[in-house]
Amino acid sequence: MKVVVLTGAGISAESGLATFRDADGLWQGHHVNDVATPEAFRRDPEVVHKFYDDRRRELRTVKPNAAHIALARLEQLLGDGLLVVTQNVDDLHERAGSSRVVHMHGELLSALCDSCQGRFAWDDDLGDAPTCPACGNDTLRPDVVWFGEMPYALDLIERALSEADLFVAIGTSGAVYPAAGFVRMAALAGAKTLELNLDPSETTYLFDDARQGPAGKLVPAWVADVQGTLR
């Protein structure tokens, strides 16, 4: 069985990380346009760096929850039949034990050099202008895909969607493309589709099946169902 799971901010909510759209469009007190666009970074790099430096530090205070752990268990069951595509920039899937994870919107624990385009594992602040390990310039930025930029690994994701038997979206509002379009792509290629989300999303109507509730409950229950069908 080939399964593609798409995760969004809702899967990390029970770990204590804020989602994007649950607080009137404010994310930790900021409008997304003030911290998540290349224009914002050009206009005020200090504010943007501080925002992501704070988010990176916050990662040290949170842990994977039952939903992340259940997806890691699913990888043990399905091996390379499972691909987790996440819109999240946290590392909670990896810390739960998942290894087949694609971060389509980048990662907090990575830095991108605006001069040489190198990408580097990074767990320190970027606001104090550290130099790039490859080219030596002080042009490192968060390795996070901002609005107007191209998400990572779309070729690989589209290939996986075209081969999937099942597509499952977890904790995502269906408001941001291209991720919000994956359900259509998977369905067109013949996959069954399932949504697991706290509330109905903007794209619930596109799924074959939708279950509402907290990811920490729904995901372990769904993984147990899958395990049952494999016996």
* 175 part of the interface to ligand OAD, by CB under 6 A: yes
Asked if 105 is an active-site residue, the reply is yes
Q: Which two tokens stand for residue 145?
A: 């895909």
CB of 90 to ligand OAD, least distance (A): 11
For 111, residues 6+ apart whose C-beta sits below 8 A from its C-beta are: 119, 120, 122, 126, 130, 140, 141, 142, 143
Rg for the chain (alpha carbons), in Å?
18
Distance of alpha carbon 65 from alpha carbon 202, whole angstroms: 25
* 220 part of the interface to ligand OAD, by CB under 6 A: no
- Among the listed residues 35, 39, 21, 24, the one whose alpha carbon sits nearest the alpha carbon of residue 148: 39
* 92 part of the interface to ligand OAD, by CB under 6 A: no
Helix (H) or strand (E) holding 92: helix 92-96
Q: Which of 35, 176, 206, 226 binds ligand OAD (CB under 6 A)?
A: 176
Q: Which lies closer to ligand OAD via its Cβ, residue 122 or residue 152?
A: 152
Q: Which of 69, 215, 223, 226 binds ligand OAD (CB under 6 A)?
A: 215
Residues that bind ligand OAD (CB under 6 A): 8-10, 13-14, 19-22, 32, 36, 87, 105, 145, 171-173, 175-176, 197-199, 201, 214-215
The set of catalytic residues is: 105
